[in-house]
A = this chain, B = another copy of it.
Amino acid sequence: MTTDPATDDRSPGVPNRPSAATLRDVAEAAGVSKASASRALDPASQYVSSNMRTRVLDAAGRLGYRPNASAQATTTGATAMVAVLVSDIRDPYNAEIVHGVIEQAGASGLVATFAGTDHAIDDEIRVVRMMRSLRPHAMILTGTRSGSTVSRSSLEDELARYTHEGGRVVIAGDDELPFDTAVVPRLRGASALVDELFRLGYRSPALIRPDRDSAAARRWEDGVVEAAERHGMRIERGAVARAPMTRDGGYDAAADLIARRPEHLDVILAATDAMAIGAMTAMRDVGLTPGAEIGVAGFDDAVGAEDVTPGLTSVDLALARVGAASVELALTGSGDRRRIEFEPRVVVRGTTPVRPR
């Protein structure tokens, strides 16, 4: 028919372009000055008569007034915003962290703005540049990143620019970049898991680790090996399998491990819950009951560990808390580089019963 009603409707003398109520509108409706309206609307402002306050609040309510955050930001020079750079939101680990960020941001009266970086440092650089325009209170980087050394230092430069203009940078997940970090306790978690398994009586673990190398996988393996050595548990050669990071990868690796069963093998540790669940199926397919003859433990306690039977022993990495802590780090400024690491929680379920010795 006619053009967009949202921008049209310019009948003579009736300038009716839709637009939000402004402070001026509220002030006029309440019959006071803009300054007074502004104060009355600010819960922290003291010098306001209660009469004034109610009149203004009334008018604001009637008009559905919401302050213009952009105007507030240009006036005060501060935004109530954190920018989050996330490699891939579909990754459950990232999603869990992001969930924590959103929750904590909401609780702190901040809004969280997101951009995807697709694991590529060059994307991150671009995104940091873009986000700088928003003058967010802080930027939180999560997920993994890969790129050339040149890219990496460009990223650091761009982030340095941002901190020089008063912004805060927080890394959620690993501590490879020189900023405040909320650490995902992979190493510590893996090692606590082995501690617990030792306590339960296990002595001879086999490992299923991802065939593609990553910092995450390395931390897990380092933690396992460190604790195993500490307890004098031996990981036999031939007791480490590499496989794709999927359920079927875990299945094949476990089948393989069981076939050429290392001498005293009494528990299989997988780098992810999905692989561990695959391993459980592999055990069943050769007539073993997970937990009965050989224990099984996963890692991350992300998806489905409690959905299987018996429940899968795993490690809760407190990812949502990592996300929340990132926001808190962003909020509490400091000169020094800080590092928060939560205690991971080993969750013992049916796949690792006490092993009498």
Q: Which of A92-100, A141-149, A215-223, A346-354 makes up part of the contact surface?
A: A92-100
User: Are A102 and B89 in touch, CB under 8 angstroms?
Assistant: yes
A77 is an interface residue with CB less than 8 A from chain B = yes
A131 is an interface residue with CB less than 8 A from chain B = yes
User: In the docked arrangement, what's the CA distance between A242 and B19, Å?
Assistant: 50
Q: List, in ascending order, chain B residues with CB within 8 A of A151's CB.
A: none
Residue among A70, A79, A281 having the largest count of chain B Cβ atoms under 10 Å: A70
Q: List, in ascending order, chain B residues with CB within 8 A of A112's CB.
A: 113-115
Chain A 216-260 interface residues, beta-carbon cutoff 8 Å to B = 246-249, 251
A132 contact from B4, B20, B77, Cβ within 8 A: B20
Q: List, in ascending order, chain B residues with CB within 8 A of A333's CB.
A: 4, 6-7
Q: List, in ascending order, chain B residues with CB within 8 A of A281's CB.
A: 281, 284
Chain A 300-315 interface residues, beta-carbon cutoff 8 Å to B = 303-304, 307-309
Evaluate whether A334 and B133 lie within 8 angstroms (CB atoms) in the complex, with A79-B70, A99-B116 already known. Answer: no
User: Are B135 and A335 in touch, CB under 8 angstroms?
Assistant: no
Contact with B along A108-138 (1 / 0, CB 8 A): 0001111110000000000101111111000
Interface residues on A, range: 35 or more
Evaluate whether A102 and B116 lie within 8 angstroms (CB atoms) in the complex, with A92-B90, A307-B246 already known. Answer: yes
Q: Which of A32-40, A158-166, A174-182, A195-203 makes up part of the contact surface?
A: A158-166
Residue among A17, A111, A135, A309 having the largest count of chain B Cβ atoms under 10 Å: A111
A112 to chain B, nearest CB (A): 5
A54 is an interface residue with CB less than 8 A from chain B = no
Contact with B along A253-281 (1 / 0, CB 8 A): 00000000000000000000010011001
Q: List, in ascending order, chain B residues with CB within 8 A of A247's CB.
A: 277, 304, 307-308
User: Are B89 and A99 in touch, CB under 8 angstroms?
Assistant: yes
In addition to A66-B132, A92-B92, 15 A-B residue pairs with Cβ atoms within 8 Å of each other are A6-B335, A18-B165, A20-B132, A20-B166, A21-B165, A68-B133, A74-B74, A90-B96, A95-B95, A102-B114, A111-B115, A111-B130, A112-B114, A113-B113, A281-B284
11 sample A-B contacts, Cβ–Cβ < 8 Å, listed by A number: A7-B333, A19-B165, A67-B133, A68-B133, A69-B70, A70-B71, A81-B113, A89-B98, A90-B96, A99-B116, A112-B114
